[in-house]
Chains A and B, each alone.
Chain A
Amino acid sequence: MAETLAESAAPRPAAVGPAEARRPPMSVVGPVAWARASLFSSWWSTAITLALAYLLVRWAMGLVDWAFINAIWSVPVNDQGIAQTQACRALEGRGACWAVITEKYRFILFGTYPYDQHWRPLLCILLFIGLYIVSAMRRFWRKELALVWVATLVLIGVLMWGGILGMPYVPQERWGGLAITLILATFGIAFAFPLAVLVALGRRSRMPAIKTLCIVYVELIRGVPLISLLFMASVMFPLFLPEGMNIDKLLRAQVAIILFAAAYLAEVIRGGLQALSRGQYEAADALGLSYWQKTGFIILPQALRLVIPPLVNTFIGLFKDTSLVLIIGIFDLLTAGKTAVVEPAWQGFGVEVYVFVGLIYFIFCFAMSRYSQGLEVELNRHRVR
């Protein structure tokens, strides 16, 4: 081999030794070089760059003016507890009235939960966030984590309802705000995901009854909007119940959300199952693994890794879809925000409230997104050579 190479290379100058390492050509990428090439390569390009830069700076300055420089952070409150918002109104939109947030943030976060008991939903929110953080760390991925989840969720239930340990009972109708959003989203994902795995597996089952059941479920649920499911859960479902029997409204909405999300997740997971080569199934069969061993050790770990991006996409969608419960009168974060500006003193300051609420949604969704990107790299390390 070496000889033939040397021969074929003979016509070339002998100075090039066979072992001389050649570097790839140098690429010139500095900020200045980049800007020259991409932004100022021609007079036309330069003109567009300058025009857009001008607009960008104008807009950014306007935003800073509105959000910080002209903003009002607090307003006086009179003897009757009514906020004096004349200063805010005098701004006429030139500055943000953040006073609505400083005044109303407890209502937005906790809804109509009794004021002196706000520490309970606050603790629940912190418990949820703690639960997310612990679950996100790989070193806690053990069987005990399931127990931690059960214990935390039970604790959250106890805190929200109360009625024991000297905490007064708070009926579900008075829960609200961020705690409701987190409850709906967390229980939604925690139950929809395992259900979706089963449905996805069932849809590929060789047993016709199971397969048909799963297909009908997915197609039925996917075929209707979440809003109509929520309506059915809140309005129609109680009609079928015997007189006097009443299932909690939040629970009904929760079940509707779980069923809805599971249908979508099942299709995402099925996509992952189909992406695996038949050889993986055959190799597992040939080794004598049982169906559940094959599924648990070989098929699902690979299939789920493949679909992390669309899975998280659906999770994020689910998180925001929980805001639709407002149409059946459940007081989630968005509804609480909307209600906060109904009060006459604060009418007209919706933008500030929606920015605030949007920021909270964004923090949770962005955290999910960033975490999933890290997870994807981590779990697919075996595919990197």
Chain B
Amino acid sequence: MSTTLDSAVASAARTDAPPAILMDKVNKWYGAMHVLRDVSLSVAEGERVVVCGPSGSGKSTMIRCINRLEQHQEGRIIVDGMELTDDLRNLDAIRREVGMVFQSFNLFPHLTVLENCTLAPIWVRRMPKKDAEELAMEYLTRVKIPEQARKFPGQLSGGQQQRVAIARALCMKPKIMLFDEPTSALDPEMIKEVLDTMVMLADTGMTMICVTHEMGFARQVADRVVFMDRGEIVESGTPDQVFNDPKTDRLKTFLSQILRGH
């Protein structure tokens, strides 16, 4: 536990700017099940954090607390200087600044790719339609599918859909991007195109938290890897520290399972 807090404090201290995300002793229960136990995490602006751990360890729940798709019951979460409380104005402001990419894409099937991307900028950011469309085309070009703009999501492959989902989130010009197992629902040959897009995004200096099992991606872009098990952060450190020099048995077991799988 102490390693967690130390590194959280250390990474916050590395840059003088206030952290983009600060979670302080966050606890959450589903009924009697304790799914987040004293989770403390500080993510600096521009930092790329990869969260890994066995299934059911609370990784997804943790990042879903950041934009309040799940509500935490104890502790504090401060995003971009605003605390997540029951105050709906704060929540709206935070959701505007935090983009999210889901495992199952969650594109809106009845809207075209372009409409998926422009809906929130037009209605939440109050952007003129023409500007929103230009912006959407810009991001669709960046994720390399501008030619699909007029199609419906159902007509695209899984990898293409996930890239649209990334572009859709980016169109809101978020300061922070959350990825909840973005490649887990994809066929193997499509994982790379999505990871490439995420690497490209990491190179732009976006603050990112990714829940993923893609160790290659973690090594390539992560500033820090956080290992969770049974609702708590067990270890965290640079990819090198975590993957090559695991301190706890739990992480060692997890890594051996992951590596055997690959």
Contact = CB atoms under 8 A, between A and B. Distances in A.
A and B: partners?
A: yes
A279 interface: yes
Q: Is the interface of A mostly helix, strand, loop or mixed?
A: helix
B100 interface: yes
Nearest to A280: B106
A293 B106 contact: no
Interface string A263-307: 000000000000001011011111111100100011001100100
A382 interface: yes
A283 B124 contact: no
Given A382-B154, A383-B109, A289 B120 contact: yes
> How large, as a class, is the contact surface on chain B?
20 to 34
Contacts of A282: 69, 102, 106
B29 interface: no
Nearest to B124: A288
B254 interface: no
Contacts of A382: 109-110, 152-154
B92 A288 contact: yes
Give the bracket for the number of chain A residues in contact with chain B.
Answer: 20 to 34
Interface string B108-147: 1110000000011001100000000000000000000000
Given A288-B120, A288-B124, A293-B123, A283 B154 contact: no
Contact of B100 (A286, A290, A384): A286
Contacts of B67: 285-286
Nearest to A298: B108
Nearest to B100: A286
B110 A305 contact: yes
Contacts of A293: 123-124
A384 to B, nearest CB: 8
Contacts of B108: 280, 283-284, 297-298, 302
A287 B98 CA distance: 8
A385 interface: yes
Contact of A289 (B104, B123, B155, B168): B123
Contact of B155 (A279, A280, A285, A385): A385
B222 interface: no
Interface string A75-109: 00000000000000000000000000000000000
B95 interface: yes
A382 B151 CA distance: 9
Nearest to A285: B69
Interface in B54-73: 67, 69
Contacts of A284: 108
A287 B119 contact: yes
A51 B152 CA distance: 52
A298 B107 CA distance: 10
A283 B95 contact: no
A282 B172 CA distance: 16
Contacts of B120: 287-289
B96 interface: yes
Given A286-B67, A288-B172, A383-B154, A301 B124 contact: no
B197 to A, nearest CB: 18
A288 B97 CA distance: 9
Contacts of B92: 288, 290
A210 B99 CA distance: 32
B104 A285 contact: no
B102 A302 contact: no
A290 B88 CA distance: 10
Nearest to A282: B69
Interface of A: 277, 279-280, 282-290, 293, 297-298, 301-302, 305, 381-385
Closest 10 CB pairs of A and B: A283-B106, A279-B106, A288-B95, A382-B152, A287-B120, A286-B100, A288-B124, A288-B96, A293-B123, A302-B110
Given A289-B124, A293-B123, A383-B109, 10 more contacts: A279-B102, A282-B106, A283-B108, A286-B99, A287-B120, A288-B124, A288-B172, A290-B92, A382-B153, A384-B154
8 contacts: A283-B106, A285-B67, A287-B168, A289-B124, A290-B92, A301-B110, A302-B110, A383-B154
